[in-house]
């Protein structure tokens, strides 16, 4: 599951590159970074929100209801998305090791 979430994070990094000309407060659609490999639900984030999320390699943006409580816990949420943090040591290690920004 963690590997799938990391894959979606990598896809979202490419989406961010395409969206670079967007103003920091404008929303863009990214992919839900949940562990469901069939999920393609959009998550609307501003560039500022996305950068804040990416500042922690163990944080992921998911659609409400896509939380895996056995390996992650909610650290923030709003009406558009939920930020989860990997609480499982194995999942956190994979997230950190495969962080495209490190």
- Over 90: is that where the pLDDT of 101 sits? no
**How many angstroms separate the CA atoms of 25 and 59, rounded?**
21
Q: Which residues of 53-81 are buried (b: 16+ CB within 10 A; e: fewer)?
A: bbeebbbbbbbeebbbeebbeeeeeeeeb
State the pLDDT confidence band at 68, using cuts at 50, 70 and 90. very high
Alpha-helical segments (H) within 19-88: 47-54
- Over 80: is that where the pLDDT of 20 sits? no
CB 95 within 8 A of CB 5: yes
Does 2 or 55 have the greater pLDDT score?
55
Residue 72, pLDDT score: 95
- Over 80: is that where the pLDDT of 1 sits? no
Q: What is the pTM of this model?
A: 0.83
Rounded to an integer, the average pLDDT of 74-101 is: 93
């Amino acid at each position: 599951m963690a590997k799938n979430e990391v894959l979606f994070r990598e896809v979202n990094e490419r989406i961010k590159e395409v969206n670079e000309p967007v103003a920091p407060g404008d929303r863009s659609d990214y992919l839900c970074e949940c562990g469901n490999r069939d999920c393609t639900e959009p998550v609307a984030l501003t560039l500022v929100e996305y950068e804040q999320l990416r500042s922690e390699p163990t944080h992921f943006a998911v659609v409400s209801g896509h939380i895996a409580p056995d390996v992650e816990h909610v650290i923030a949420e709003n009406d558009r998305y939920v930020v989860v943090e990997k609480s499982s040591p194995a999942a956190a290690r994979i997230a950190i090791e495969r962080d495209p920004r490190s």
